């Protein structure tokens, strides 16, 4: 059974700054505690991430997975799907960054994730894992962007 989570948050930065931070996959280990390594394997014609390999801490062990990123007609949306993973059968997700009318330096971030694990977990463990993933993907990203750490 596939589990899913969605969340929205407002970030005090432009949509372009938020998109750039999310697109900077190789720096995820700097702010996403469970991501231990992130390597861009391929890039598209515009230099954006195509495929990326990750090593992460999950459920008390190390896990590896590779994601394929795609970009639609909305230039500030990035989606991904699992190509290969050792504990997941499926992992599809997306970030979408939209401007807030009347506030050019405020962005509404929509995050969505669907995961299907290869192993069965008790409900309370799944909920804790889901909360941790969403916290990292949304709250830690917000903290990183608003603190200005994203600047090279």
Q: pLDDT per residue over 44-68, tens digit each?
A: 999 999 999 999 886 677 889 999 9
Give the rounded percent of residues in the chain with a pLDDT score beyond 90.
Answer: 56
4 has which bridge partners? 114
Contact of 79 with 50, CB cutoff 8 Å: no
Which positions ≥6 away from 135 have C-beta within 8 Å?
none
Q: State yes or no: pLDDT of 122 exceeds 60.
A: no
Q: Sorting pLDDT into bands at 50, 70 and 90, what band is 115?
A: confident
Domains and CATH numbers, the chain: 3-146 (3.30.530.20)
Q: How many CB atoms lie within 10 A of CB 142?
A: 19
- Backbone angles phi and psi of 73, in degrees to 5: -70, -25
Tokens of 106: 């405020």
Residue bearing the bigger pLDDT, 114 or 18: 18
Q: H or E segment at 89?
A: strand 88-100
pLDDT tens digits, 3-29? 777 889 999 999 999 999 999 999 999
Report DSSP state, residue 140.
Answer: I
Mean pLDDT, residues 59-85 = 89
43 pLDDT tier (thresholds 50, 70, 90) = very high
pLDDT-derived band of residue 118, with 50, 70 and 90 as boundaries? Answer: low
pLDDT at 152 over 50: no
pLDDT class for 76, splitting at 50, 70, 90?
very high
Predicted TM-score (pTM) of this structure: 0.85
* Mean per-residue pLDDT, 77-82: 95
Q: Which two tokens stand for residue 45?
A: 């014609």
93 or 73, higher pLDDT? 93
């Amino acid at each position: 059974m596939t589990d899913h989570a969605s969340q929205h948050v407002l970030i005090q930065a432009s949509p372009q700054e938020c998109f750039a931070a999310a697109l900077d996959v190789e720096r995820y280990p700097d702010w996403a505690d469970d991501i231990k390594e992130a390597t861009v394997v391929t890039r598209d014609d515009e230099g954006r991430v195509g495929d990326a390999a990750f090593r992460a801490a999950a459920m008390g062990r190390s896990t590896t997975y590779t994601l394929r990123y795609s970009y639609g007609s909305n230039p500030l949306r990035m989606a991904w799907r699992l190509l290969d993973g050792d504990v997941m059968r499926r992992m599809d997700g997306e970030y979408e960054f939209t401007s807030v009318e009347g506030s050019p330096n405020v962005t509404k971030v929509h995050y969505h994730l669907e995961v299907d694990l290869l192993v069965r977990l008790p409900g309370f463990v799944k909920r804790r894992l889901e909360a941790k993933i969403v916290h990292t993907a949304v709250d830690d990203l917000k903290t990183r962007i608003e603190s200005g750490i994203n600047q090279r």
